[in-house]
Amino acid sequence: MSRQYFGTDGIRGTVGQAPITPDFVLRLAHAVGQVLRRTEERPTVLIGKDTRISGYMLESALESGFNSAGVDVVLLGPIPTPAVAYLTRAQRASLGVVISASHNPFADNGIKFFSAHGTKLPDAWEMDVEAMLERAPEWVESARLGRSRRLDDATGRYIEFCKSTFPNDLSLRGLRIVVDGAHGAAYQVAPKVFHELGAEVVSIGCSPDGLNINRDVGATHPQALVDAVRQHRADYGIALDGDADRLQMVDASGRLFNGDEILYLLVQDRLGQAGAKVAGAVGTLMTNMAVEVALKSQGVEFVRAKVGDRYVLEELDKRKWILGGEGSGHLLVLDKQTTGDGMVSALQVLSACLRSGKPLAAMLADLNLFPQTLINVRLRPGQDWKSNAAMAQTTQAVEAELGDSGRVLIRASGTEPLVRVMVEARDAALAQHCAQRIAATLAE
């Protein structure tokens, strides 16, 4: 049975269009509540949200749906996604719920869930919820309805957690840091975390109005951060996305560093600590090949997961490793946090730079990313790209030409009728030429 509602990271869509409507979200919460009550008499769920105006409406629908199933609700207000993961563990709650569409524009929204341990839930759990949605609601009697309350100082608790992941013997004093909150869930939290650790903080993207989340700021629009770092002559820039689970960083020169580079830096920092060992790291199908080559040359195994931080986490759990991530900036440091956390990841990078006495660029001097060319080919209605013999033949020829100095990745978009053709090679012109050859066979 395929999933009807859940995607790679919860349920997401345009507000007012199925399934992101208040009636469906109420039914969803009720179904989740029924699943929870199979194993727990009186479950408690935490609900956090980002700054989208639709969060008010969806929060009310979730609250009603859970209460109607006999589930107690704790409201956290606007708070980063990783904060919900942390607080779910800290409060010994049954489930954490986040209302957010992450890096999408304000007109979108979504619902995603964390287990009692603060981790993403498996496909089997999502299938249980979808099966429950097919059944008629079972409203509990009045005496068994759930209750709701707000958690006092949820943001303050999370700020202290973030600070606790930074070494006690280090300080950010003397550093000027630009923090871009993407007008999102971290707008209150992020500047305080870095300020309270000693930095002089310049804030941008920290004035949400319900409609401007991710608009021309944040991890998906890093030029605003680059410009601000140069303007304020800052030492570092930190950009988060709308729900603050991904990270992009900028150094004093205005150079932007992506998630692949940051993952490599985190591994190097661990290798440089006395007595520390790193058995391996996990990236995705999209991770730059240079990271894999560099890590393997140092005896660090590298494994690729499907695109999506939940799949990176699955591979890490399977191997009992702690470091993984995506080029988009979803980074996992499992001895610090159970899920991707932009602020915690940034603090690990800053502590690595302070320990080494080197800036970001110097720490990454031996990593030269392979040029990548990505071409999106729009499919015609009914087009079966997987059985395209010409494409398969051209792809095989390109792979033979690249050998061990490049690779090809072809995958369908999960949200649009597109096929993404990516070619990576040590030579940029070769990568572009090969990608165009493969894409042409699909477009013909």
User: For this structure, is 100 an active site residue?
Assistant: no
CA distance 332 to 326: 9
Dihedral sign for Cα atoms in the order 278, 284, 285, 288: negative
Residue with tokens 């490793």: 321
> By the 8 A CB rule, do 110 and 20 touch?
yes
CA distance 426 to 161: 41
* Catalytic site residue from 54, 68, 100, 102: 102
Question: Could you tell me the CA-to-CA distances from 304 to 229, 271, 308, 315 in Å, in that order?
Answer: 33, 20, 11, 8
Residues tagged active-site: 102
